[in-house]
Structure 1
Amino acid sequence: MGILSGNPQEEPLHYGEVFSLWEFVMVCNKTIVDHQMLLNHVGDGDLKKLLKEAIEQAQQEVKQVSEVLKHNGVGLPPAAPEPPRVELDDIPVGARFQDADVAAAASAKVAAGLIACSQIMGMSIREDIPMMFGQFHMNKATLAGKFLKLTKEKGWLVPPPLHHSSKED
Structure 2
Amino acid sequence: MGILSGNPKKEPLHYGEAYDVWQFSMAAKGCLSTYRLLHYHAGDKNLKGIIGDVINQAELEISECDEILIHNGLVPFPALPERPEARLEDIPIGARFTDMEIAAMVSADSAAGLVICSQIMGKSIREDIGMLFGKYHVTKAAIGLKALRLSKEKGWLVPPPLVVERQLEEALR
Common fold by TM > 0.5: yes
Unaligned runs of 5+ in 2: none
- The offset of 1:58, in angstroms, is 1.1
- What amino acid sits opposite 2:18 in the alignment? V
1:137 and 2:137 are equivalent in the alignment: yes
CA contact (8 A) 2:106 2:144 kept: no
The reply to whether residue 78 of structure 1 matches residue 78 of structure 2 is: yes
TM-score between both structures, scaled by the size of structure 2:
0.94
Trace 1:113-152 onto structure 2 (pairs within 5 A). Answer: 113-152=113-152
Q: How does the TM-score come out when normalised to structure 1? A: 0.97
| Separation in structure 1 between the aligned mates of residue 31 and residue 128 of structure 2, nearest angstrom | 24
Amino acid across the alignment from 1:75: V
The residue that corresponds to 1:57 in the other structure is 57
Superposed CA deviations along residues 73-122 of structure 1, whole A, max 9, x for unmatched, are 01010121121111111111111111000110111111111111101000
Deviation for aligned residue 1:3: 3.0
Query: Percent of aligned pairs with the same residue?
Result: 51
Residue in 2 that maps onto 1:157: 157
Equivalent position SS for 1:159: coil
The equivalent residue for 2:10 is: 10
Kindly report structure 1 stretches of 4+ aligned residues shifted beyond 6 Å: none
Three-state SS of the structure 1 residue aligned to 2:84 is coil
Question: Which residue of structure 2 aligns with residue 41 of structure 1?
Answer: 41
Paired AA for residue 21 in structure 1? V
CA distance in 2, matches of 1:65, 1:81: 19
Task: List gaps (5 residues or longer) in structure 1.
Answer: none
Structure with the bigger percentage of helix = 2
- C-alpha distance in structure 1 between counterparts of 2:97 and 2:119, whole Å: 31
Q: SS of 2:159's equivalent? A: coil
* 1:78 match: secondary structure: coil
8 Å CA contact retained: 2:47, 2:103: yes
What SS does the corresponding residue of 2:41 show, helix, strand or coil?
Answer: coil
Rounded Cα–Cα distance in structure 1 between residues aligned with 2:111 and 2:66? 22
Alignment length (residue pairs):
169
C-alpha RMSD of matched pairs (Å): 1.0
C-alpha offsets along residues 33-78 of structure 1, whole Å, 9 cap, x if unaligned? 0000011111111101110111001111111111111110010101
